[in-house]
Structure 1
Amino acid sequence: MPTPARIHVAHALHEVFGEGGRVPDIWDRELGEDAHLAQALLGLCLRRWGRLQAWVKPKLKDPDRGVPLGTRVTLAMGLAQLAWLPGVSDHAAVNEAVELAGNRDLGFVPHKGLVNAILRKAAKDRTALAAELEALPAALDRSSAAERALRAALAPHGAGKHVEGDLEALWARLQRPPRPDFRLLKGEVPEGLVPLPEVPGCLCLEDGAPFPRPWLESAAGMVQDRSSQALLAYQWERPVTRILDACAAPGGKATTLALRHPEADLVALEVHPRRAARLRQTLEQRGLRARVIHADAAEWLERAESDFDLILLDAPCSGSGTLQKHPEWPWLQHEDLPRLTGLQRRLLTAAAERLAPGGLLIYAVCSWLPEECEAHREWLAEARPDLQPAPVWPGRLGTPGEGSEGHSPVFRPNPLHWEGEGFQGFAVTRA
């Protein structure tokens, strides 16, 4: 019988390629120590899916005939282990893939012999297998959605005639599993964490240092991507007495806002009840004061009567900027983009109505697509002439030609040189 780790990976691959769904955040929670193998194997299958399928195709009796998903999944898992996981034995990689092929839910029983034959032959020279797979074009691992996201990421930074080379360089960087960033909440910085000079307060894990789980569980620190930390390192000197975090879960940005403005009243909105409960618990564990409200942000804003000196709108989005953390993203269905951009504009409209005179509104999305940010900024400039650009970030985090005196009202780090997630945003102030 296949190990639980391999069964979990097979289920996750079926969710992505069979249902077009994301890999759940807790997909490996029950695996214990086997989670390391499962994470590595799933990451390889997702990041190399196109190449794995292309390698198999000419080995088939009828290459143009469709192959059941169960066969594609079991072959991909077996080949990925043989090519890139030297700690996995030939026997484990081949035999457990064959057993998966015989599972009526996860494989395709008539193809057990095919899976066995292809994998046994590949196992005879694992080094050659890895070389053959790596020699295939990297573009095979990119969907049209991923291709568009990469070009959108590079476009504002003047890739110009080097766009193809820049695209390949960016894609190669995004195929490396991300390394977490951290932030100190109280006490001393634990051993193994070092400051990141370009983002004040951001901590990185030294090579070889253990993951600081006890420190995180003690609520003395938190995991927070450097893009989120840089976004909230805005320079703003005007008084702030009322803050709204419009889409607050899981709570990292709400935590930063509460620490930056400890005397201000903070309202944190979250539409999902479980996430709202978790958000409330997280803030309480960190000793932070906030009013957590379970509500749809757009509806709540449209009914609200109070104004806010600072509004953070980290809006729901396509997540195209999270390609590195979510390697399944290129293979998902992205048909809901019009719905998302409509929701973003509704939220932005409602948030602008609740911005107090002299206040600051920060809009952000973890996406590179222009219709999720730049299009909204251009629309807002026409629809609300009373809102003016607020240059609150260092110019190096914006785009060429934006802002003045070394500061930018746009947050859009160059992805070729920035290791954080693909965040983009803008800031406006009300006259």
Structure 2
Amino acid sequence: MAASKAAISPARREAFRILFEVERSGAHADDLLRSSRVDALSVADRGLCTALVLGVLRWQIRLDGMMRPLLAKPNVRLDIEVQTALRMGAFQLLFLERVPTHAAINESVEICKASGHSFAARMVNAVLRKAATWPKLSAWRLPGNLDAKALAEATAHPAWMVERWARFYGMVAAREICGHGQEQPDLVVRVVGRETEGDLTQKGIQLAAGGLLTAARTVIEGSLSAATLTDAAVRIQDEGSQLIGELAAAAVESPERILDCCAAPGGKTLILAERWPLAAITALELHPERCEALRRRVQADAEAAPEVYGWIAVVHGDAAGLNDAGLSVAGLDTDGVLEGPLDGFDLILVDVPCSGTGTLGRNPEIRHRLGAADLVRHHEQQCEILKSVLTYAARVTEPGKRVRVVYSTCSLEPEENQDVVAEVLSQVEGWRQVSLSEPISRMSELGRLTGTGREAIVQSLTAEGAMLLLPGMSVAGTGRKLETDGFFAALMERVV
């Protein structure tokens, strides 16, 4: 066992552990790749580990389809460890030009042995030696003129997903979504303050301007360590996610009380605080562990920048039960007291749990877990949450006061987006959907959008004025593609 472990490089050993956890426990690769264990690897090993984990998950459907016929019994059920070792070896042989064939095969065999499956080592060796004769796919290009089924097969996506996207958005958009899902997404950070950006440059981290937002930066060189990210002024956050926070912040002028529902991990909460540092913000989160992690994050940021983040109260609670249970909070304002029932919100962000199909490039494991039936479950939960929030907001807000609610997801599915908004508005009186054009114009006037960003958002507006960003979509008039996750946002206001 010790000899086998010694023969496995740190990058491959850690990649195997992460892939095993993703398969076994339903963990998220993105979270595991940000762990202290991965941070402890050398820069080169960290890069290889990340490439292996995300590459295997992105191409898993195709890798399995190519390897199964090479097995003596193609339909046999393989142990997770053996299946993972095979996938890792095949991915390296097919996609990684600089990895020697012997390293990809031998270390996969050693991983199999070290995981307690010595009996399968010979089979892994034989299958991978056959796979080594296949042509490389490292220069992968998406073939043209594919129907939805062939597109799904070529891009290792479930056929039912691709067929839906082709039906709803057309084959050109489906092709762009699938192509984006197979590429390594940009590493985007939000940097608060020019001084902090200068500090990052001195540490060898080279940044480029964001594609959508002037506050976003793309990391083009250097490695962000966990120590760097503990700084309240630097955090990893996709531009699409940042955009939701910015749209919500621009939805109301000078809000005094803001409610952020389903708030963890807190990136959008912090954007609301940056834009409205004098507003009292309540961040509501249902899951205790995520709530506690959010509370620690807010406390750390408040200590670093109390003038910006000191008015955020983190509350453990269920947004779907707001109308029944109400909302009370114990927190701090500048006088040291902010407690009791909260009401009279000007602005509410409802960024609901969803399927996450807009984030398949960043979270490729979603495609292996999600089924069409899950969309029904998500729809029901999302309707319950939004209906509860709208009913509660109308009940606790004084007559004549305007309240605006932003509903958002990182899903591409109509059942989770416009269908939720339409269904809830048909059931709850006193609310209407309004166009996001006003917040977009405000953001543009304030210099928060790049030229490409404004064009992309305007292009993505639906007939009802909601925003649907499709990953990889071509932005008209710019010659650029959208390099962000997919997001949906709709704006509603109380009729007064």
State TM-score, norm by structure 1: 0.84
How do 1:16-95 and structure 2 match up within 5 A? 16-17=22-23, 22-23=28-29, 25-26=31-32, 29-31=36-38, 32-33=40-41, 34-63=45-74, 69-95=80-106
Matched, 1:340 2:362: no
In structure 1, which of residues 286, 289, 303 is the aligned counterpart of residue 325 of structure 2? 303
CA–CA distance in structure 1, aligned partners of residues 211 and 26 of structure 2: 39
Q: Deviations over 1:72-100 (max 9, x none)?
A: 32222112222323443333221221223
Q: Calculate percent identity across the aligned residue pairs.
A: 28
In structure 2, which of residues 257, 281, 284 is the aligned counterpart of residue 266 of structure 1? 281
2:12 counterpart residue number? 6
Give the C-alpha shift of residue 309 in structure 1. 0.9
| Cα distance change on mapping 1:245 and 1:149 into 2, 3 Å | farther
Give the C-alpha shift of residue 341 in structure 1. 2.1
Q: Deviations over 1:374-402 (max 9, x none)?
A: 11111133223421223234485264662
User: Is the 1:98–1:115 contact (alpha carbons within 8 Å) kept by the matching residues of 2?
Assistant: yes
How do 1:153-164 and structure 2 match up within 5 A? 155=168, 159=170, 163=171
Q: Deviations over 1:249-298 (max 9, x none)?
A: 11111111112222211111112223222222222332312111122232
How do 1:193-272 and structure 2 match up within 5 A? 193-196=207-210, 198-205=212-219, 207-211=220-224, 216-234=229-247, 235-272=250-287
Give the C-alpha shift of residue 327 in structure 1. 1.1
In structure 1, which of residues 387, 390, 401 is the aligned counterpart of residue 431 of structure 2? 387
CA–CA distance in structure 1, aligned partners of residues 103 and 408 of structure 2: 45
User: Is the 2:322–2:389 contact (alpha carbons within 8 Å) kept by the matching residues of 1?
Assistant: no
CA–CA distance in structure 1, aligned partners of residues 74 and 225 of structure 2: 48
2:463 counterpart residue number? 402
| Cα distance change on mapping 1:215 and 1:61 into 2, 3 Å | closer
SS in 2 for 1:102: helix
Figure out how many residues of one structure are paired with residues of the other and give that number.
413
Matched, 1:361 2:382: no
1:315 counterpart residue number? 352
1:181 counterpart residue number? 188
1:113 counterpart residue number? 122
CA–CA distance in structure 1, aligned partners of residues 419 and 236 of structure 2: 31
SS in 2 for 1:244: strand
CA–CA distance in structure 1, aligned partners of residues 67 and 207 of structure 2: 43
Q: Deviations over 1:311-364 (max 9, x none)?
A: 001111111111010111111144544333222111111110233431110011
CA–CA distance in structure 1, aligned partners of residues 26 and 357 of structure 2: 15
Q: Deviations over 1:150-187 (max 9, x none)?
A: 447xx3xx53xxx1x44233211221111122223234
CA–CA distance in structure 2, aligned partners of residues 353 and 97 of structure 1: 56
1:278 counterpart residue number? 293
| Cα distance change on mapping 1:26 and 1:122 into 2, 3 Å | closer
Return the letter of the residue paired with 1:218: D
CA–CA distance in structure 2, aligned partners of residues 346 and 250 of structure 1: 21
2:486 counterpart residue number? 422
Compute the RMSD of aligned alpha carbons. 3.1
Return the letter of the residue paired with 1:116: N
Return the letter of the residue paired with 2:128: L
In structure 1, stretches of 5+ residues that fail to align are: none
| Cα distance change on mapping 1:308 and 1:149 into 2, 3 Å | farther
How do 1:123-162 and structure 2 match up within 5 A? 123=132, 128-130=135-137, 139-140=152-153, 141-144=156-159, 146-147=161-162, 150-151=165-166, 155=168, 159=170
Give the C-alpha shift of residue 12 in structure 1. 3.8
Matched, 1:324 2:335: no
SS in 1 for 2:31: coil
CA–CA distance in structure 1, aligned partners of residues 407 and 113 of structure 2: 50
Give the C-alpha shift of residue 428 in structure 1. 0.6
| Cα distance change on mapping 1:138 and 1:30 into 2, 3 Å | farther
| Cα distance change on mapping 1:94 and 1:179 into 2, 3 Å | same
User: Is the 2:355–2:370 contact (alpha carbons within 8 Å) kept by the matching residues of 1?
Assistant: no
SS in 1 for 2:217: strand
Deviates more, 1:307-316 or 1:83-92: 83-92
2:478 counterpart residue number? none
Deviates more, 1:8-17 or 1:356-365: 8-17
Q: Deviations over 1:22-64 (max 9, x none)?
A: 4471265424223332221122211122222232233334545
CA–CA distance in structure 2, aligned partners of residues 132 and 42 of structure 1: 19
